[in-house]
Amino acid sequence: MQIIHDRRALHQIPELDRVLPETFQYLKNALTPLNCQVFSPEEKGLCAFFDFGQKDAIAFRADADALPIFERTGADYASTHPGAMHACGHDGHMAIVLELARRFSEKNTLPHNVLLVFQPAEETTGGAKDICKTGVFEQYHVQAIFGLHLWPGLPKGAVFSRKNELMARSCEVDIDIIGKSAHIAKAAEGIDALAAAVELYRRATAMEEALPARVFRLLKFGKLEGGTARNAIAAHAHMEGSLRAFQDEIFEDLQTDLTHICQEIEGDFGCTVNLHMNSGYPAVMNPEPLYNRVHACLPFRELAEPAMTAEDFSWYQRFLPGMFFFLGLGDTPALHADNFDFDDLILLKGADFFETLAETFL
């Protein structure tokens, strides 16, 4: 079956970030014989346009990059690029959209023209934003874009979504605390960066937990390092964490509150606190009008709560209406695990869902 062949072939050639020569060559070779225009907008990603003579278009997106992970699935189609792996299902996403391309190539008419988008750098710097800036969606009069993500833990082959909040806005949080080292026998002569870090952690956690339960948000730290020896006051401590929320105002309030906590720690401990938060990705928010239009076309299941993970599909939604879905994988290893794998046949469910959407979306 071609969709399974595509997935396994792409799984063997994972590439990182924006440097995807083998991946894009495979996609070009598959798309070029079809009844579509294949092009690369400003050398950012790869697109295929199917012209059905309509006044506007809809788009479907697949992400193409992999992760810097050594694969340990033991599969006979495992990565041939040591240190790189399709551990997030992007090989499956590409296979679904390639299958769509083959199906669209055999159709004489659809309610809209169709633009297929294969993008790099979803896992790193947000390749979606760069594609939006090329103007390709305006050029082809795209009125809506759709994407999906393979999702462990949801019922096998079932499609899920929800209106409004689906995936979180996120940013990485790095904090460096600069104190002054001293022998612990003369602790008063030092400034304890490790103690300051522990108190900063406590206050930040308490601040986040004080928000109402109905507010979806997250501020957690997964790394704390400090000191050089058991009998010396730590001159430096380093913390790494993640901040996530859905509404921009809540996200920005949390950023402001964390900044104030860092300033308080400086005053209370006499240390220097350097806080850095990167720009991250916006939240994936499915607009209610588009959600209702899609729901009127074909059935899918309602997700009870949003996911706190992040996705750069959100950038498309900042430029044009867009809706994102989860395709259940059943009981599989977690995304980003070195043994992540799934039943290839599930991909047909994704291709069928998107084909029906293209046929019925008005």
Q: Is 354 exposed, middle or buried (0-12, 13-18, 19+ CB in 10 A)?
A: buried
Q: Is 55 exposed, middle or buried (0-12, 13-18, 19+ CB in 10 A)?
A: exposed
- Spans in the chain with pLDDT lower than 70: none
pLDDT of residue 196: 98
pLDDT of residue 121: 97
Q: Strand, coil or helix: what is 129?
A: helix
Q: How many CB atoms lie within 10 A of CB 296?
A: 10
Type of residue numbered 335: L
Task: Give the residue numbers annotated as catalytic, written as ranges.
Answer: 63, 123
Structure tokens at 226: 């400090």
Distance between CA 67 and CA 76 in Å, rounded? Answer: 19
CB 337 within 8 A of CB 85: no
pLDDT of residue 228: 96
pLDDT of residue 270: 98
pLDDT of residue 301: 98
Q: How many CB atoms lie within 10 A of CB 32?
A: 10
pLDDT of residue 214: 81
Taking each helix axis from N to C end, the angle separating 90-105 and 21-31, rounded to the nearest 10 degrees, works out to: 20
Distances (CA, A) of 247 to 217, 243, 250, 289: 9, 12, 5, 18
Number of H helices, E strands in the chain: 10, 14
